[in-house]
């Protein structure tokens, strides 16, 4: 699967500075309470994502002109996957729609992923049934509205390489 072009606040990140990695981590407003008998009860108020994107190349990333005091939109390059026991799944509305293929479906057959056609109706994904499938996975690319302080930028003079990383939290 070829990664799509990363866009941060409308800025296309050029191949010369292309991201080497993107990671997601959960953010949540939650507390685990213990009852008198020791049972745990999780009280959760909200869940969001944090992302960290890093890249390097022979040119600096063109992110210096972005207004980091406001939320920025990040069109992500790392897909996320949703598992379903059936051919149907509900995908998040906050996903990329600018791609030729923005949702992929795979059937799990004998422990292997088998690509299958998928149709979308708003946020409802329906995969084509595959014989012998025990479950299905749906891949999508997130579109996140985030706050960030901006990128950390480096220059390695000995290797003539620019590096950058960006940490952001979903609004």
Span 68-120, pLDDT tens digits: 999 999 999 999 999 999 999 999 999 998 988 889 999 999 999 999 999 99
- Taking residue 148's Cβ as centre, other Cβ atoms within 10 Å add up to 20
Name, in order, each residue with C-beta under 8 angstroms of 90's C-beta and a sequence gap of 6 or more: 123, 124, 125
pTM of the entire predicted model: 0.89
Average pLDDT score, the chain: 94
Calpha distance 99→46 (Å, rounded) = 29
- 68 and 148 in contact (C-beta within 8 Å)? yes
pLDDT tens string 26-45: 999 999 999 999 999 999 99
**DSSP-derived secondary structure letter, 48:** E
35-47 burial: b if 16+ Cβ within 10 Å, else e: eeeeeeeeeeeee
């Amino acid at each position: 699967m070829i990664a799509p072009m990363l866009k941060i606040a409308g800025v296309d990140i050029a191949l010369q500075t292309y991201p080497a990695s993107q990671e997601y981590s959960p953010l949540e407003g939650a507390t685990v309470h213990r009852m008198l008998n020791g049972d745990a009860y999780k009280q959760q108020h909200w869940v969001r994502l944090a992302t960290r994107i890093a890249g390097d190349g022979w040119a600096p990333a063109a992110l210096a002109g972005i207004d980091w005091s406001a939320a920025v939109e990040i069109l992500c390059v790392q897909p996320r996957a949703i598992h379903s026991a059936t051919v149907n799944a509900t995908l998040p509305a906050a996903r990329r729609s600018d791609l030729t293929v923005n949702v992929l479906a795979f059937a799990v057959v004998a422990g292997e992923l088998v690509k299958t056609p998928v149709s979308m109706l708003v946020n409802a994904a329906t995969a084509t049934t595959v014989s012998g499938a025990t479950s299905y996975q749906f891949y999508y690319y997130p579109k996140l509205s985030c706050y960030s302080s901006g990128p950390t930028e480096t220059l390695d003079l000995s290797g003539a390489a620019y590096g950058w990383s960006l940490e952001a939290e979903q609004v």
